[in-house]
Amino acid sequence: MANPKAAMLVIGDEILSGRTRDSNLWHLAGELTRAGIDLTEARVVGDAHATIVAAVRALSTSHDYVFTSGGIGPTHDDITADAVAEAMGAAISHRADAMALLRAHYDRQSLPFNEARQRMARIPDGAVLIDNPISVAPGFILGNVHVMAGVPNIFESMLASVLPRLTGGAPLLSQNLRVMRGEGEIAGDFGRLAEEYPDLSMGSYPFQQNGAFGTNLVIRGTDPGRLDQAMMRLVGMFG
Amino acid sequence: MANPKAAMLVIGDEILSGRTRDSNLWHLAGELTRAGIDLTEARVVGDAHATIVAAVRALSTSHDYVFTSGGIGPTHDDITADAVAEAMGAAISHRADAMALLRAHYDRQSLPFNEARQRMARIPDGAVLIDNPISVAPGFILGNVHVMAGVPNIFESMLASVLPRLTGGAPLLSQNLRVMRGEGEIAGDFGRLAEEYPDLSMGSYPFQQNGAFGTNLVIRGTDPGRLDQAMMRLVGMFG
């Protein structure tokens, strides 16, 4: 059976302006690969309501799982929850469970639970909360859309609590052969090997070292036996 | 007049599997911001023909400029040129100008100009070549689509030769105020200020330092006078 397919939606003007270098896509990609879920697309959009709505609709229709990062804080540019609610046709309000979590958190610190902070309790009807062990304000799961924070350590801890609930397939395994030859030299034989193993994915990634060209040849697949077999052929060719 | 709008398409299985952390989006975002071109969307797709064709079509229709990275090398998984040609309705072949460039390069190094290397001369009809000062194999511009290499130093040098040809608008300027207060504390006043300046974009980015919460307040816009004015108001509130 094919692995489930996932998409990521990174939300935030700061990524598209170059202020912030996103790291959540890279983290999610590695975690999903290990979990046997195929990340097949990612999109980055700014803090614009209609754009987020359209992207969530497109991705949630075409994928088994969608993961979003960013835009769930207390400020005016945090509009992800409302956009996801609209995209999925859900009502949204200051939900009692999230209000209680946040009120207790700010009470403990003797900080006012003001209007801005209450904004983080806006959660769509029918959504399941995602725990935030770092700064309390929760993420949520609505349908197949998993809404998480943009701050990397919070994103990572939310993902860690979400992943065990997901049904994954076979983890994508990979093996790497590093050869000190240029891509153009190995491409012919490598391409023919890839044709012989249509169930595996083979990629080549050039590098330079001390002025010499080398290539990392990567074989990916879910069947360890097939992977070993193809890697032995590769070693026979270029090892 | 509004700035031109751009989109980026990152192409490669290695990004979606978590093997490689993309850096080209971050680089492009900063360069376009300085050039007065608004990057409004980015997508990451794998090495799959139909997916690349669909993404190029969608992005080239909805944006003034599209920039792609990855998939223009000599191996079987390098399928970007053919996919872009199909998306834009152009024929593609081993073009004489690209063949000549590459043949001279490999002749100089006494390396065979084999079938795989000739693959890098597949350029759509009507495309303008983009110079590659590092490894010679050219990128190209077809319509509004700028096709560049995925290897970061080659991507960056190709972008540097392309950028001066593009018509940009006013560079997006930004000013930053760092305050040692949590987002929830400043969100109300900050949001009201943002409403007073609809021509500027204001964002807040929380951080932690020695266990205390702080926030970077960022104001972005193209008019330096308006930016200064809004920043003075912000300093008056929180400085």
With CA atoms as reference, the chain B residue closest to A35 would be: B17
pLDDT at res. A26? 97
Take residue A197 and report the two structure tokens written for it.
Answer: 């193993």
pLDDT at res. A1? 64
Count contacts between A and B (CB, < 8 Å). 195
With CA atoms as reference, the chain B residue closest to A150 would be: B205
Under DSSP, is residue B199 helix (H, G, I), strand (E, B) or coil?
coil
- Which residue from A14, A151, A206 is facing B203, i.e. has the nearest CB? A14
pLDDT at res. B169? 85
Closest CA to A144 of A82, A31, A56: A56
ipTM of model: 0.91
pTM of the model: 0.92
- Using CA atoms, how far residue A160 sits from A26, A36, A163, B135, in Å, is 15, 15, 6, 41
Interface test with B, best of A34, A40, A75, A175 (most B CBs within 10 A): A75
What is the percentage of chain A residues whose pLDDT exceeds 70? 100
The alpha carbon of residue A3 is apart from the nearest alpha carbon of chain B, in Å, by 13
Interface test with B, best of A183, A201, A209, A218 (most B CBs within 10 A): A183
Cβ distance of B182 and A119 shorter than 8 Å: no
The alpha carbon of residue B64 is apart from the nearest alpha carbon of chain A, in Å, by 16
Under DSSP, is residue B70 helix (H, G, I), strand (E, B) or coil?
coil
pLDDT at res. B108? 93
Cβ distance of B33 and A22 shorter than 8 Å: no
pLDDT at res. B1? 64
pLDDT at res. B206? 87
Largest CA distance in chain A: 68
Cβ distance of B40 and A191 shorter than 8 Å: no
Cβ distance of B26 and A21 shorter than 8 Å: yes
Q: Give CA–CA dist B156/B30, Å, rounded.
A: 12
Q: What is the mean pLDDT of chain A?
A: 94
Cβ distance of A205 and B77 shorter than 8 Å: no
HEC profile for chain A? CCCCEEEEEEECHHHHCCCCCCCHHHHHHHHHHHHCCEEEEEEEECCCHHHHHHHHHHHHHHCCEEEEECCCCCCCCCCHHHHHHHHHCCCEEECHHHHHHHHHHHHHCCCCCCHHHHHCCEEECCCEEECCCCCCCCEEEECCEEEECCCHHHHHHHHHHHHHHCCCCCCCEEEEEEECCCHHHHHHHHHHHHHHCCCCEEEEEEEEECCEEEEEEEEEECCHHHHHHHHHHHHHHHC
- Which residue from A23, A29, A188 is facing B16, i.e. has the nearest CB? A29
Cβ distance of B76 and A51 shorter than 8 Å: no
Cβ distance of B13 and A220 shorter than 8 Å: yes
- pLDDT beneath 70: ranges in chain A: 1
Domains along the sequence of chain B with CATH: 5-165 (3.40.980.10), 173-238 (3.30.70)
Question: What's the pLDDT tens digit per position in B77-89?
Answer: 999 999 999 999 9
What residues of B are in contact with residue A38 (Cβ under 8 Å)? 16
Q: What integer is the mean pLDDT of B96-105?
A: 96
Q: What integer is the mean pLDDT of B94-114?
A: 95
DSSP B31-51: HHHHHT-EEEEEEEE-S-HHH
- Which residue from B17, B32, B38 is facing A33, i.e. has the nearest CB? B17
Interface test with B, best of A34, A44, A120, A177 (most B CBs within 10 A): A44
- Which residue from B44, B74, B172 is facing A42, i.e. has the nearest CB? B44
- Which residue from B40, B114, B184 is facing A16, i.e. has the nearest CB? B40
Q: What is the mean pLDDT of chain B?
A: 94
User: Could you tell me how many residues make up chain B?
Assistant: 239
With CA atoms as reference, the chain A residue closest to B193 would be: A76
What residues of A are in contact with residue B102 (Cβ under 8 Å)? none
- Supply angle C-alpha A238, A222, A143, rounded to 5: 140
Output the CA torsion sign for A154, A155, A157, A162.
positive
Cβ distance of B75 and A204 shorter than 8 Å: yes
Interface test with A, best of B9, B17, B219 (most A CBs within 10 A): B17
Cβ distance of B184 and A220 shorter than 8 Å: no
pLDDT at res. B168? 85
Cβ distance of A29 and B18 shorter than 8 Å: yes
Take residue A173 and report the two structure tokens written for it.
Answer: 């395994």
Confidence of residue B2 (pLDDT cuts 50, 70, 90): confident
Cβ distance of B51 and A33 shorter than 8 Å: no
What residues of A are in contact with residue B136 (Cβ under 8 Å)? none
- Which residue from A74, A190, A191 is facing B187, i.e. has the nearest CB? A74
With CA atoms as reference, the chain B residue closest to A191 would be: B76
Question: What's the pLDDT tens digit per position in B137-194?
Answer: 999 999 999 999 999 999 999 999 999 989 888 888 999 999 999 899 999 999 999 9
